[in-house]
């Protein structure tokens, strides 16, 4: 069964609103979670790395004030897309791991459409 | 910097044909990991294989096989006797020693027709 749950699976929102995406590890403590973004027919690009209890590390070119990441517990990380615009429409997918050298588990992804 | 190249954007085959998906990588690390993932139309990533840089043995799992050649920095994936259910986008990925932060290739879309 799925060990990483991502919610919602899809969301449609209006331009200017904020959207929160959750990534939960179901049966392990996720010390590190990763957020990826995938535009249609493109590859997955790492957006940020979050470690439980500390600030996320963002990849170059990713606006940290627009994509707020919170990893407040060992089983939950959230990605909030603030003031969403149509160009933020994408497939967002998280992955989680317990420790270095532990298996990496992916969520099922969230398809965000901003109208 | 790490980089993964999947030169084949899309491949179309007829069922039962064999197909090989190419993957070429670049890294300065001596210890690294290579992965293949399948992404069906529903979007989730299905893990297929992880291989570390010290293990050049080829691997076979049912109809799937992988050929790792360190000398050419390639990690190719072959599907034998392809089936319609194999239609998906396949990603090759590379990570540093801790195999957590993945760098993905651009993917190869495989279309298997009946």
| A43 near B CB under 8 A | yes
What is the pLDDT, as a whole number, of residue B37? Answer: 94
Mean pLDDT of A20-25: 95
B101·A43 Cβ contact <8 A: no
Residue of A nearest to B90 (CA): A43
Which backbone phi and psi does B70 adopt, to 5 degrees?
-65, -35
Tell me how close the Cα of B76 comes to any Cα of chain A, in angstroms. Answer: 18
Chain A contact for B3 (CB, 8 A cutoff): no
The answer to whether the CB atoms of B104 and A44 lie below 8 A apart is yes
Strand, helix or coil for residue B86: helix
Question: Among all residues of chain A, which has the CA nearest to that of B50?
Answer: A103
**pLDDT tens-place string over residues A64-107:** 999 999 988 889 999 999 999 999 999 999 998 876 666 778 99
pLDDT of residue B39: 93
A37-47 tens-digit pLDDT: 999 888 999 99
Going by their DSSP bridges, the two strands A76-81 and B74-79 should be labelled as unpaired
Structure tokens, A17: 């609103």
The pLDDT of residue B96: 82
A93 contacts in chain B (CB < 8 Å):
43, 45
pLDDT at A1: 53
* Contact flag A34-B100 (C-beta cutoff 8 Å): yes
DSSP symbols for A26-41 = SSS--SEEEEEEE-TT
pLDDT band at A5 (very low <50, low <70, confident <90, very high): very high
- Nearest-by-CA chain A residue for B52: A101
Tens of pLDDT, residues A51-74: 888 889 999 999 999 999 998 888
Q: Provide the pLDDT for residue B75.
A: 97
**pLDDT tens, position by position, B12-71:** 999 999 999 999 999 998 899 999 999 998 888 998 998 989 988 888 999 999 999 999
Average pLDDT over residues A28-50: 91
């Amino acid at each position: 069964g799925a060990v990483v749950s991502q919610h919602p699976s899809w969301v449609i929102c209006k331009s200017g609103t904020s959207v929160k995406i959750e990534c939960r590890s179901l049966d392990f403590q996720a010390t590190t979670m990763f957020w990826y973004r995938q535009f249609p027919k493109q590859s997955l690009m790492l957006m940020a790395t979050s470690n439980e209890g500390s600030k996320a590390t963002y990849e170059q070119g990713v606006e940290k004030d627009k994509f707020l990441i919170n990893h407040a517990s060992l089983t939950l990380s959230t990605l909030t897309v603030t003031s969403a615009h149509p160009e933020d429409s994408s497939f967002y997918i998280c992955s989680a791991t317990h420790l270095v050298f532990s298996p990496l588990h992916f969520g099922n992804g969230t398809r965000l459409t901003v109208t | 910097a790490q980089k993964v190249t999947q030169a084949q954007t899309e491949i179309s085959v007829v069922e039962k044909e064999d197909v090989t998906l190419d993957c070429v990588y670049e890294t300065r690390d001596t210890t690294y990991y290579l992965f293949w993932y399948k992404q069906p139309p529903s979007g989730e990533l299905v893990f297929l294989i992880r291989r570390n840089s010290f293990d050049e043995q080829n691997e076979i799992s049912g109809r799937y096989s992988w050929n790792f050649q360190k000398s050419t920095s390639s990690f190719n994936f072959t599907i034998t006797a392809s089936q319609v259910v194999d239609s998906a986008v396949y990603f090759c990925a590379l990570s540093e020693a801790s195999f957590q932060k993945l760098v993905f290739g651009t993917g190869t879309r495989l279309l298997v027709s009946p």
